[in-house]
Amino acid sequence: MGWDILTRMKLALLLALGVSAFAQAKYDLLLKNGHLVDAKNHLSEVYDVAIKDGKIAEVAKSIDPATALKTVDVKGLYVTPGLVDIHMHVYASTGEEKSYAGDYSLFPDGYTFRNGVTTVVDAGSSGYKNFEDFKLHIIDRSKTRVLAFVNIVGAGMRGGKYENNQADMEAAPAAEMAKKYPGIIVGIKTAHYTGPEWTPVEHAVEAGNAAGIPVMVDFGSNRPERPIDVLLTQKLRPGDIYTHCFSGLRGELDPEGKVNHGMIEGRKRGVIFDVGHGSGSFAWRVAVPAIQQGFLPDSISTDLHNNSMNTGLKDMLNVMSKFLAMGVSVDDIIAKSTWNPAREIHHEELGNLSVGALADVAVLRVQPGTFGFVDMYGARMNGSQKFICELTLRNGKIVYDLNGISRPDWKTLPSNYSFQGDPHWDTLNPPRKIQ
In the complex, least distance from residue 207 CB atom to Zn ion, rounded to whole angstroms:
18
- Residue 123 is a binding residue for Zn ion (CB under 5 A): yes
430 preceded by cis ω (within 30°)?
Answer: yes
Rounded to 5 degrees, what are φ and ψ at 364? -115, 145
- Residue 240 is a binding residue for Zn ion (CB under 5 A): no
The residues with which 216 forms a beta bridge, in sequence order, are 189, 241
Q: Which is nearer to Zn ion, 27 or 104 (CB)?
A: 104
Pairing of the two strands 397-401 and 117-127:
unpaired
Rounded to 5 degrees, what are φ and ψ at 349? -80, -15
Which range in 72-80, 121-129, 281-289, 321-329 contacts Zn ion by CB under 5 A? 121-129
- Reference 277, options 230, 242, 312, 231; nearest CA is 312
Burial category of 351 from C-beta neighbours within 10 Å (exposed 0-12, middle 13-18, buried 19 and up): buried
Nearest residue to Zn ion by CB is 303
- Reference 84, options 355, 341, 325, 407; nearest CA is 341
| Total site size for Zn ion, rule CB under 5 A | 2
Q: Which is nearer to Zn ion, 106 or 353 (CB)?
A: 106
In the complex, least distance from residue 336 CB atom to Zn ion, rounded to whole angstroms:
18
Q: Which is nearer to Zn ion, 122 or 168 (CB)?
A: 122
In the complex, least distance from residue 101 CB atom to Zn ion, rounded to whole angstroms:
12
Q: Are 126 and 147 in contact (CB under 8 A)?
A: no
Q: Which is nearer to Zn ion, 190 or 340 (CB)?
A: 190
Q: Are 87 and 64 in contact (CB under 8 A)?
A: no
Q: Which is nearer to Zn ion, 67 or 279 (CB)?
A: 279
Q: Which is nearer to Zn ion, 298 or 303 (CB)?
A: 303
Which range in 118-126, 127-135, 167-175, 309-317 contacts Zn ion by CB under 5 A? 118-126
In the complex, least distance from residue 149 CB atom to Zn ion, rounded to whole angstroms:
10
In the complex, least distance from residue 314 CB atom to Zn ion, rounded to whole angstroms:
16
Q: Which of residues 260-319 bind Zn ion (CB under 5 A)?
A: 303
User: Residue 92 and residue 94: Cα distance in Å, rounded?
Assistant: 6
Measured on CA atoms in the order 367, 372, 378, 379, is the torsion positive or negative? positive
- Residue 106 is a binding residue for Zn ion (CB under 5 A): no
The residues with which 389 forms a beta bridge, in sequence order, are 364
In the complex, least distance from residue 143 CB atom to Zn ion, rounded to whole angstroms:
22
Which residues of the chain form contacts with Zn ion (CB under 5 A)? 123, 303
